[in-house]
Amino acid sequence: MTSELELQLQRTVDRLRSMSAAQISRESRDEAARSLVGQLAAFSRPGTTVPVVAPTALGDQLAVIGREFINSTTPDQHEWAIEQLKALRQSL
């Protein structure tokens, strides 16, 4: 399961990193990415406030928060995250 989550995380991170600030900011894509980052952080570090970063840094932020999520959550939560990452990537 974790390997599937790692794969989906890396694909989504790569997609975000390949986009320009203008592309990420279009159609609230940055808001969707920030929302998922916040949700993942809430699982791994409840009560933590995730800083708002520039659109071009969202891929890096997702990589860090996603790794923390993988290391601190359960397989059921991993299933949820896989679906969320796929949905985000498809919306980009």
What number of other Cβ atoms are within 10 A of residue 67's Cβ? 15
Structural domain boundaries, residue 35: 2-91
The encoded tokens of residue 78 equal 């991993």
For residue 46, give the amino acid letter: P
First to last CA, the chain: 24
pTM assigned to the model: 0.93
The encoded tokens of residue 90 equal 């498809």
| 92 residues of the chain, pLDDT tens digit each | 569 999 999 999 999 999 999 999 999 999 999 999 999 999 998 998 999 999 999 999 999 999 999 999 999 999 999 999 999 999 99
Q: How many domains, the chain?
A: 1
